[in-house]
Homo-oligomer: A and B are copies of this chain.
């Protein structure tokens, strides 16, 4: 069986999810979306991805209902839909797992609950509010593991300060 062409025999919905978000680059694109990136050119420059591939991925995500095209200033924004926003727990879990692999004390990005300022734990929970905040309620800031600034573009610079997730650039 060719994975990607026939998921019918898989008795678990994981395969269905991977069909949409399991391709190379897709998760990285979505991470950028959560960080507030919306423009084709910004995705392309930040990820250093070929334009053909980026076009294909953005279209696939749009077709799948994860992203939505919105006109802004004569240009197109790619914005997370409700279904896309629901991917946050999965994305966050992967980020935390990747972060914990080296030195857990040196995380690269730290997420906090905007309403109360408490950092969320590895399961996405805010200990103070006893809730699992949605992505729209979170803020990001650089952690101790984030390296020195190598990029000087406006987006990279903004992401070196604390900032609400999803705020458009």
Contacts and interface: CB of A to CB of B under 8 A. Distances in A.
Interface of A: 1, 3-4, 9-18, 21-22, 24-25, 27-28, 31, 48-49, 83, 86-87, 89-102, 107-109, 122-125, 130, 132, 145-147, 150-151, 156, 159
A14 B1 contact: no
B22 A98 contact: no
A150 B101 CA distance: 39
A41 to B, nearest CB: 16
Q: How many of these chains are in the complex?
A: 2
Binding site of A, secondary structure by majority: helix, strand, loop or mixed? Answer: loop
B99 A13 contact: yes
Contact of A3 (B21, B24, B101, B146): B24
A95 B143 CA distance: 29
A89 B94 CA distance: 8
Contacts of A12: 31, 95, 98, 108-109
A3 B93 CA distance: 21
